[in-house]
Every structure is written in C-alpha cells, then in structure tokens.
Amino acid sequence: MGLRDGVWTVLWVTVVATTAVSFAAKAETLELNDPGAIELATAVSDRVDDLSDKVMACIDANGGDHKPCICLDVCTCPFEAEYRAAETAFREATDRHPEWKDRVIHFTRPGDPMGYNLAFDGLARQFGSTCGE
C-alpha cells in the first residue's frame, strides 16, 4: 500500500459522491426522465452515499489517515455491508439498463430542483474489480 492507495481513495470518494463526474472524459451523459429509471438511479446514488459517508467518517475518526478506510474492492473494504449494498444497487440498475454502464447518468429527484450526476462508468470499473486486482 502506497501512494496508489491514497490516490485510489480520493478517486473512490469522488466516484461515490452523488455529484461525481465521469473519470473518462469520453463518457456520454444520459439524461433520465422516466420515473422508474430515476428511482433506480436514486437507489444507486443513495447506497453509494451511504458508503461514502462511512469512508469519510472513518477518515475523520483516524485523523485524516485514509489507510484504514480504503475500499479497493469488497475484500479490502472495512464497510462490507455498505459496499455490497452499493454494488447490488448498481448491478440491479445496470441489469435493467445495460446502456448506463459506460455513461454518466444525469437526473433530478422529484421535488428536488438540484440535478445529480452519477458516473456509472466509474462505478462499473470499481465494481468490476475482483479481490487482489
């Protein structure tokens, strides 16, 4: 574990932020308007936010040290339940909408004027990794 882990933690926190932008500049943004699709995207966003909250609280509790909080994959993540919940929500969404996997998804939640971007392309890379990769 070295600088790469620190950089990856920063990237992971970026991915898990609800307003994350795509890692790949070439990722196309897909605007969601269908209420069912927005509900799926919101579920992914909420589970990713839950994991992000755990990671950030861990970093804060460790005086800014990110090492005990790293989530490279489910095997290294100290928050297995939250990681698996985020991964499950992602898989359910991409099983229904495979075209999301390489896109940035933009949506607004009912009653919330703020727009949300979720980098499904980054999540696909995150959840596509296996233990030890």
Q: Using 50, 70 and 90 to split pLDDT, how confident is the model at 132?
A: low
Could you tell me the two tokens for 98?
């495979």
Q: Which helix (H) or strand (E) holds 97?
A: none
Share of the chain above pLDDT 70, in %: 79
The residue that leads in pLDDT, 111 or 24, is 111
The residue that leads in pLDDT, 21 or 25, is 25
Least confident range from 28-37, 38-47, 108-117, 123-132: namely 123-132
Instruction: Quote the pLDDT of residue 133.
Output: 56
Instruction: Quote the pLDDT of residue 70.
Output: 85
pTM: 0.77
- The mean pLDDT value for 38-48 works out to 96
Q: For residues 44 and 22, what is the distance between their CA atoms, to the nearest angstrom?
A: 15
Q: Is the pLDDT of residue 93 over 90?
A: yes
Q: Using 50, 70 and 90 to split pLDDT, how confident is the model at 55?
A: very high
Distance, CA of 31 to chain centre: 18
DSSP label at residue 72: S
